[in-house]
Structure 1
Amino acid sequence: MILNRFVGGPINEPRLKKVYLINNFEYTTCNYMCKYCFLGKISRDSCPVYQSRLSRIERQVEEYIGKYGLRSVKSILISPIGEPTLDPNLPTLLKYMKSYGVPVAIYTNGSRLVEDRIFKLLKQFDIVTVKFDTLRIDVIENLNKPNIKLDPEKIYYNLVKFRREYRGKLYLDVMLVDGYNDYREDLDELIAAIKTINPNKVFLNTPYYPNRGGARPPRNGTISYIYSRLTKFMPNRVEIIDYLPEPYSNKKIEDPIEEFIYLSTVNPMTVEDAYEYFKMFGLDPEETLEELIRLGDVEIVKWLDREYVIANVIARRLT
C-alpha cells in the first residue's frame, strides 16, 4: 500500500483525545506482524531514507496546519502504518514537529528501546505510548510475530530505566487477546511488571475491530480482573479502551470525502461513526457511503456483531 497523504484529523483518539495524525511512511513498515493489527499483512520491515518523503511530509503538515490551525488539537501524534522508530528520518521530523509548540506524541511497539539511539530519541517526545502485552517470548512470537530476535526481559529492563529518566508522559497500551495473554498467571506477571514500571497511565485494549489474524477479545472476566488490581496501586490512571477513534474532523476541511478516505486507511471506524462524520458536513450519510463503496474507495467489513468502514486497500488484506 502506497500513501501520498501524511497528515489528517483531528480525531478523538482514545489515549490523547483531539490529535492530528502524522503518518511518516509511504507503505506499511513494521518489525512486527501482530495478529490483532488492523493493517493486515505487513509487506516491509525497513524504511529507506527518502529526503523527498520528509520534504513532502513537512510541506503537507505546513499546509494543513496553515489551513486549519492548532486550536482544536491537544497534541500531534506520530502513529504511522507501522513502527515509527524504523524511519531514519524520525529525529528530523520530530524536530520539525516541535517547532509548532504543540506536544508531540508517538506510539511505538517498544522493540527498539534496547537501542541506545532510539532510547535517547524517544526521551525527546512529550508523550510516549509503548505497547506492552506480555513478558513471555512464546506469546510475543505467536501473537506479535516479530521478524527480529527479541529479549522481553531486556525490553522490560529498558522500559523501567526509561520511565526513571524520562521527563514526559509515559503510557502503556496493553492488548489482551483470547488464548494468548489472558491466562491468570500471565495477567499477574503483567500486573507486577506494570507496577514496577509505574507509567503515567495504562490503557487496556482488546481487538474489538477487524483484523487479519482473527484475534478476539479475551475471555469474560479478564478486563475486570486486571483493571481492579491495577487500580489498587494506580487509582485514576487506568483506562479501558472500548471504542475506536471517532472521526471528528475540522469542519473547515475543504474536501471531507478525501479526509474520510484517509482516516479509513489509518483507523477503522464503525458505520455509525461514518454516518455522524458525513452529517457533520451536511452530506447524506447513506448515499455518501454507498457512493464510496460503488467507487471502490471503501468497503464494509463485518466483525463480531458490528459493521466497519475500511479503506478498500486495507479491507482486501483482511479477507
Structure 2
Amino acid sequence: MTHVYGVVPSRRLGRSLGVSTIPFKTCNYSCIYCQLGRTTNMTNTRTSFYPPGEIINQVRDFVNEKGDESFDVVTVVGEGEPTLYRPLDQLAEAIRKLTFKPLVLITNGSLLFDEDLRDEISGFDIVMPTLDAYDQESFRCINRPLGKLEYEEVYEGLVDFSRKFDGELWLEVMLVKGYNDDEESLMLLKERISRVKTERVYINVPARPPAEDGVKIPDIATLKLARELLGATSIENMPVSNFLSRESDAESTVIEIIKRHPMSQEDIESLLRSRFGPGSAEVFFEKLSSRGDVERCEYVGKIFYRYRSIL
C-alpha cells in the first residue's frame, strides 16, 4: 500500500504532498459530487487501518529522496474521510520531525464534535472542513451521510471546534447547481457560516467527474453572487498541471495519484512525458484497456481517468 502520493497541484495550497491514511472509498458520507465515485465502505468507526510507522516511513522516504523543497505543504487527505484514522496525533508529531512545511488536514468535518479527535488534530497548522448543507434535508441530499449522523450535531461540532482550534481553519463550500446554489440556500449558508470562526472561506464546484449523473457546475452569475454573499474566494478553475511522483514506472505513477485525485488526459500526458519521456503516455493509455479498476469519464468537455474499486 502506497500512503504517500504526489506532489499534487492544489488551488488552495500550492504543491501538496498527499498522505493517505485510509483504504479506498472508506467514508461516512457518499457525496453526490465526490470525484472518486460512490462510497463503497460506509463507516463511522475510527480505527488504525494501517500501522502509523508504515505511513511515517513512506513520508520519510519521500522527503529523503525528493527533499522538502519539492512541496509546499503536507496534506493528510486520501480517498475517503481521513479523520476515521487513528491515531492522527502520532502521525502529526512524526511528520513534524521530518519537515518544517505546514501540516494540513482536509476533512468533511463530520466528526469534529468528537473530543478525542479534536485532541488528535490540535497539532495541525491548517484544518480544512467542508460545509455544503444548511439543514438536515440538504445534508441528506448532498452529502448522504451514514444514517446515525445528524446535521445539527455535525454543524455544532464544527462551530465549537473552530472557536477552540489554535491553528487556521479554512472552510470550503461545494456548490452544486440545483441543490444549494439558489439565493435562499446561499442566505441560509451565510447564516450558518457566520457562526464559524474561519480565516478563509472557499467556494468550490464539481470540476471533476462527480459520483452521480446530473451534478452540474453553477453558472458564472451564481458564483459571483455566492462570493459576495459568503465573503468567499472562488476556486472553480482547475490548478495548473504540476504533478510529481516517486513511482518507478508510468502505470504505478498514474494509478497511485488517481486513487485519490482523478486526472485529465492532458495532465496524465504532461506528467508521463516529463517523467518518462516521449511515447510513455501513448503506451500507458494502451495498457488502460486491460485494467478493470480505471474508469474513463467525459465531463465538462474533458476526458478524465479515475480509479474505481472492483468488488
Question: Which structure 2 residues correspond to residues 108-257 of structure 1 after superposition, within 5 A?
Answer: 108-214=107-213, 215-219=215-219, 221-231=221-231, 238-243=233-238, 246-249=241-244, 254-257=248-251
| Structure 1 counterpart SS, 2:259 | helix
Question: Which structure 2 residues correspond to residues 52-91 of structure 1 after superposition, within 5 A?
Answer: 53-91=51-89
Q: Deviation at 1:289? A: 3.6
Q: TM-score, normalised by structure 2?
A: 0.88
In the other structure, the counterpart of 1:234 is: none
Instruction: Please identify, of 107-116 and 301-310, the stretch whose mean Cα deviation from structure 2 is larger.
Output: 301-310
Q: Deviation at 1:171? A: 0.7
* Change in CA separation of 1:199 and 1:228 when aligned onto 2, cut-off 3 Å: same
Q: Matched residues in 2 for 1:47 and 1:280: separation?
A: 39
Q: Matched residues in 2 for 1:310 and 1:274: separation?
A: 11
In the other structure, the counterpart of 1:307 is: 303
| Structure 2 counterpart SS, 1:147 | coil
In the other structure, the counterpart of 1:23 is: 20
The one-letter code matched in structure 1 to 2:116 is R
Q: Deviation at 1:286? A: 4.7
List gaps (5 residues or longer) in structure 2.
none
Q: Matched residues in 2 for 1:192 and 1:47: separation?
A: 31
Q: Matched residues in 1 for 2:194 and 2:287: separation?
A: 47
* Change in CA separation of 1:298 and 1:49 when aligned onto 2, cut-off 3 Å: closer
| Structure 2 counterpart SS, 1:197 | coil
Q: Matched residues in 2 for 1:262 and 1:189: separation?
A: 39
Superimposed CA distance per residue, residues 187-230 of structure 1 (whole angstroms, 9 cap, x where no aligned partner): 01112332332421122111121122222213552211111233
Q: Deviation at 1:70? A: 0.7
Asked if the contact 1:245/1:269 (under 8 Å) is kept, the reply is no
Q: Deviation at 1:22? A: 0.5
**Once the two structures are aligned, what percentage of the paired residues are identical?**
27
Q: Deviation at 1:137? A: 0.7
Q: Deviation at 1:41? A: 2.6
Q: TM-score, normalised by structure 1?
A: 0.86
Instruction: Please identify, of 101-110 and 53-62, the stretch whose mean Cα deviation from structure 2 is larger.
Output: 53-62
Asked if the contact 1:274/1:285 (under 8 Å) is kept, the reply is no
In the other structure, the counterpart of 1:270 is: 264
| Structure 2 counterpart SS, 1:27 | coil
Question: Which structure 2 residues correspond to residues 263-302 of structure 1 after superposition, within 5 A?
Answer: 263-281=257-275, 282-284=277-279, 286-296=281-291, 298-302=294-298
Q: In angstroms, what is the RMSD of aligned CA positions?
A: 2.4
Q: Deviation at 1:105? A: 0.6
The one-letter code matched in structure 1 to 2:286 is E
The one-letter code matched in structure 2 to 1:23 is S
Q: Matched residues in 1 for 2:300 and 2:249: separation?
A: 32
In the other structure, the counterpart of 2:34 is: 37
Superimposed CA distance per residue, residues 248-278 of structure 1 (whole angstroms, 9 cap, x where no aligned partner): 216x764454222211211111111112112
Q: Deviation at 1:247? A: 4.9
The one-letter code matched in structure 2 to 1:307 is I
The one-letter code matched in structure 2 to 1:302 is E
Instruction: Please identify, of 282-291 and 8-17, the stretch whose mean Cα deviation from structure 2 is larger.
Output: 282-291
Asked if the contact 2:89/2:121 (under 8 Å) is kept, the reply is no
| Structure 1 counterpart SS, 2:17 | strand
List gaps (5 residues or longer) in structure 1.
232-236
| Structure 2 counterpart SS, 1:139 | helix
The one-letter code matched in structure 2 to 1:303 is Y
